[in-house]
């Protein structure tokens, strides 16, 4: 029904129409959604934040533990105590300084935990209330661009569609369900992420669609397409490697727009197939136009 070569050829042709605009849209999308980074799930990003915080906590705790309980520490105390002249006084001062050091480490640890907590909370809030709508707006831009022409303002489409809270809720549930399936094993989470893949495009076309129907329609559109789509994603590995060795510059100025345009072509094919099979209709998926 479709081939990777066909999708990528059409994507390149589409990018020629508005290359720099596509670069700007993908850059904003990457900042707020993490869509073009590994592990694009909002919940996985939040999990990474908490993992980093935990690692920082462990490092500080281990350093403090090692300093306080290693043999050299006690040897120093012993030497202070047995030092001629003021042994007991030196020992007491050493213990006071040790206590002060421990209290200082605890204060730093509390500060790091507090900062990490608020960073994680802000990341979650941004992902939920901005990330989802901006992702939908990005899909709207690329679909409109391939049909009638896209504008940068389409990034905010979800916020002026009259269905902002609905879009936020549906995209939140996409992330939550993917995360919960991932808890079983990695494979179910990956499968579900592909099953839900068309939901942002569906909302970009019909922002008021019922949530259950959006999940159902995406599942039906991706039925029999998951493996081919997975291989399509794998075909960008060398491009992503180029982005890595260029410190992300290649991703910003070509790879991310190229991937986004290719995925838009994929949705266009699956949408046409769904209409042809009678899975949906033009009342439910009315098409794309500039707004």
pLDDT in tens, 165-205: 999 999 999 999 999 999 988 899 999 999 999 999 999 99
Name the pTM for this structure: 0.77
Q: What is the pLDDT of residue 134?
A: 96
153 lies in a domain? yes
163 lies in a domain? yes
Q: How many domains does the chain have?
A: 1
77 lies in a domain? no
DSSP H helices, 18-86, are 19-33, 42-69, 71-82
The whole-angstrom separation of Cα 199 and Cα 167 is: 10
Residue range 263-284, pLDDT digits in tens: 999 999 999 999 999 999 999 9
Query: Does residue 64 register a pLDDT over 50?
Result: no
Query: Does residue 144 register a pLDDT over 50?
Result: yes
CA pseudo-torsion sign 281, 282, 283, 289? positive
249 lies in a domain? yes
Please tell me the chain's helix, strand, coil percentages from 3-state DSSP, rounded to the nearest 5: 80, 0, 20
155 lies in a domain? yes
202 lies in a domain? yes
Domain that holds residue 24: 4-40+124-277
The whole-angstrom separation of Cα 195 and Cα 189 is: 10
59 lies in a domain? no
């Amino acid at each position: 029904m479709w081939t990777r070569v066909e999708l990528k050829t059409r994507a390149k042709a589409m990018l020629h129409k508005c290359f720099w605009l596509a670069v700007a849209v993908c850059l904003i999308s990457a900042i707020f959604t993490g869509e073009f980074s590994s592990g694009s799930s909002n919940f996985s990003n939040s999990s990474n934040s908490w993992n980093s915080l935990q690692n920082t906590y462990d490092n500080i705790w281990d350093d403090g533990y090692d300093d306080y309980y290693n043999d050299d520490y006690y040897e120093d105390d012993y030497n202070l105590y047995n030092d001629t002249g003021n042994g007991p006084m030196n020992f007491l001062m050493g213990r006071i300084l040790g206590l002060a050091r421990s209290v200082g480490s605890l204060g730093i640890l509390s500060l790091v935990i507090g900062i990490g907590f608020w960073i994680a909370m802000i990341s979650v809030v941004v992902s939920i209330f901005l990330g989802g709508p901006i992702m939908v707006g990005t899909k709207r831009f690329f679909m409109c661009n391939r049909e009638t022409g896209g504008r940068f303002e389409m990034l905010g489409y979800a916020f002026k569609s009259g269905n902002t809270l609905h879009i936020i809720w549906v995209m939140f549930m996409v992330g939550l369900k993917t995360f919960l399936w991932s808890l079983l094993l990695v494979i179910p989470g990956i499968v579900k992420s592909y099953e839900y893949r068309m939901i942002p495009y569906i909302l970009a076309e019909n922002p008021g669609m019922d949530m259950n129907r959006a999940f159902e329609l995406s599942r039906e559109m991706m039925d029999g397409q998951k493996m081919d789509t997975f291989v399509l994603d794998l075909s960008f590995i060398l491009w992503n490697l180029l982005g890595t060795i260029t410190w992300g510059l290649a991703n910003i100025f070509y790879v991310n727009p190229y991937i986004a345009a290719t995925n838009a072509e994929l949705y266009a094919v699956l949408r046409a197939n769904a209409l042809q099979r009678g899975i949906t209709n033009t009342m439910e998926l009315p098409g794309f136009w500039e707004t």
